[in-house]
Amino acid sequence: MNKKIKLIMNIVIGIVGLAFLLMLIYMITSFEYAGREKEDPLPTDLSVFEYKLKHKAYNEILSTYYAQRLSELSAPEGYEDMFHVAEYTHAAFMSEIYSTKGDAGKIAANASKRETIKKTLGKYAYITDEVDDMLK
């Protein structure tokens, strides 16, 4: 009986040792991917922003803008374009509200704000027409 237990224990130890060796080899080979983010960075936030623009998801851009503004008042590096687009979208929406209310003073102030923001949009200036069409 004693020899059978020793034989079974040796088999179990051999299987555990083999499993340990396989896990060690897997761990060592996985290190080659550890620095991949440094080699090939993908600007995911920007690509998500571009995706939202492509599909005219201005509500999602505004949502991201409001969430980001909770932690920082000015645009963090790389988010400037998104902030400008969101600010223009917000100003356009507010123009429609002021127009509905008939508040001429706020309409004029908001119109100058929209023109100022239009100048900062750069390559995203095309969104002004899209946003204005969506609101009408």
| Structure confidence at residue 89 (pLDDT) | 92
| Structure confidence at residue 42 (pLDDT) | 56
Spatial distance between the Cα atoms of 95 and 16, rounded to a whole number of angstroms: 71
| Structure confidence at residue 135 (pLDDT) | 81
Kindly tell me if the per-residue pLDDT of 132 is higher than 90.
no
CA angle 25/31/35 to nearest 5° reads: 170
Model confidence, pTM: 0.64
pLDDT single digits (tens) 25-74: 888 877 766 555 555 555 555 578 888 888 888 888 888 888 888 888 88
pLDDT single digits (tens) 81-130: 888 899 999 999 999 899 888 888 898 998 899 999 998 888 888 888 88
Between the alpha carbon of residue 4 and those of residues 1, 7, 10, 48, 76, the distances in Å are: 5, 5, 10, 63, 69
Average pLDDT over residues 19-27: 91
Judged by phi (left if over 0) then psi (alpha if -120 to 50, else beta), residue 78 lies in: left
Specify burial of residue 126 (Cβ count, 10 A radius: 0-12, 13-18, 19+). exposed
Q: What is the dihedral of CA 109, 115, 119, 123, to 10 degrees?
A: 130
